[in-house]
Amino acid sequence: MTVNPPGTAAGAGARLVPSPDWAREVERESAQPVSLCYQCQKCSGGCPLAFAMDVLPHRLIRYVQLGQKERVWQSRTVWLCAACRTCAARCPNGIDIAAVADVLKQQAMRRGLVAPEPSVQAFHQTFLSSLRSRGRMHELTMLLRFKLKAGFKGSELSQDLRLGLAMLRHGKLRLLPEGVRRTREIQALFARAQEGKSHGAV
Ligand code: SF4
Ligand code: SF4
């Protein structure tokens, strides 16, 4: 009889072997009680982005419980979650799926997996690197870096430029970046988070 190794997706004729170790890892990193999910589906019922997701939020949590890493890391849901936290407000056990999705994103990136939503991944990486370098977002730099990473599309370029100029005129974008006073502390926080993850990295 074929038995799929822990952490791999079960194919036709394969048995599903739950892998609780990974679920514990996700619980620790996200500080969310994933094991308490009992599939009531209230999260999916209220999620405003459920229509675009390939794996509904309650199912994502179930896959985590079962250690189905590939299904989870390859799902668009992890990248589409908008962190609105409607699920957390509705969940009888207070599970914040946005926090779980965040951890899953980081895990996928640490393994060098290509996200099914590359532009969301590019935005996520640019946002974090902007925050790490100055302790505060500078939208203009971040947007330029994001566009360089995600790739300029000819038709969007003139539209982006028009929008950018209009925002500058209305004072919605700052030309020069500002930082916070103790950026080193922010950078130390990032380093500590990275170090903590690499100790229990999956
Ligand atoms: S609302 Fe909470 S308990 Fe219910 S399925 Fe979603 S995560 Fe699980
Ligand atoms: S935080 Fe994410 S999963 Fe939860 S309701 Fe919002 S979009 Fe859906």
User: pLDDT (tens digit, 9 = 90+) per residue, 52-100?
Assistant: 999 999 999 999 999 999 899 989 999 999 999 999 999 999 999 999 9
pLDDT beyond 90 at 37 = yes
Mutate to test the pocket of ligand 2, among 41, 49, 80 (most ligand atoms within 8 A of CB): 49
Predicted local distance difference test score (pLDDT) of residue 199: 55
User: pLDDT (tens digit, 9 = 90+) per residue, 45-58?
Assistant: 999 999 999 999 99
**pLDDT band at residue 150 using 50, 70 and 90 as cut-offs:** confident
The residue whose C-alpha atom lies closest to atom 2 belonging to ligand 2 is 81
pLDDT beyond 90 at 12 = no
Cβ–ligand 1 distance for 93 under 6 Å, the answer yes
Q: Which residues line ligand 2 (CB under 6 A)?
A: 47, 49, 57, 81-87, 97-98
DSSP codes of every residue in 135-178: SS--HHHHHHHHHHHH---HHHHHHHHHHHHHHHHTT-S-SS--
| Contacts with 65 (C-beta within 8 Å, 6 or more apart), sequence order | 18, 20, 23, 34, 35, 37
Q: Are 49 and 89 in contact (CB under 8 A)?
A: no
Cβ–ligand 1 distance for 143 under 6 Å, the answer no
Cβ–ligand 1 distance for 119 under 6 Å, the answer no
**Which pTM was predicted?**
0.74
